[in-house]
Amino acid sequence: MMKVNVVCVGKLKESYWREACAEYEKRLSRFCKLEIRELAERASLKEEAADILKNLRGHVLVLAVEGREMSSEEFAASIKKLQDEGRETTFVIGSSCGLGGEVKRAADEKISFSKLTFPHQMFRVVLLEQLYRAFMINAGAEYHK
């Protein structure tokens, strides 16, 4: 079973974000071993970067607005390739201030789900939903229309 890590800076403060994430964590449990690591927001991006770098494992995908955009099908194909290779995968979501350059340079890939900027709490839900969608596409299920 694929190991997927999500490293994110900041806690989910509102219950509706926590509930949404819990739902997708439950759904994802049939496809992967998911671990979410919440790191504390720090005084600077440099301090946050040091914390993030300690938690990177396997193939690292940083979520950044300047990253490569892809469709849900392309994202699913990327996940399938990593899964077929048996690669542990780590996704990184920065704080509301973004990500330090050290983290971006440490990434194997920078990806973007849109040119839009999203609140980091909301984006955690978006990432989990897209992971679930990717696994469902790869399973041939009808979730993705």
Task: List pLDDT tens digits, range 6-36.
Answer: 999 999 999 999 999 999 999 999 999 999 9
Architecture of domain 2-139: 3-Layer(aba) Sandwich (3.40)
pLDDT per residue over 75-126, tens digit each?
999 999 999 999 999 999 999 889 999 999 999 999 999 998 888 899 999 9
pLDDT per residue over 22-78, tens digit each?
999 999 999 999 999 999 999 999 999 999 999 999 999 999 999 999 999 999 999
Residue 142 has pLDDT above 90, yes or no: no
How far is residue 42's CA from residue 115's CA, in Å, rounded to a whole number? 26
Distance of CA 37 to the CA centre of its chain: 11
This prediction has a pTM of 0.95
Three-state DSSP at 103 gives: helix
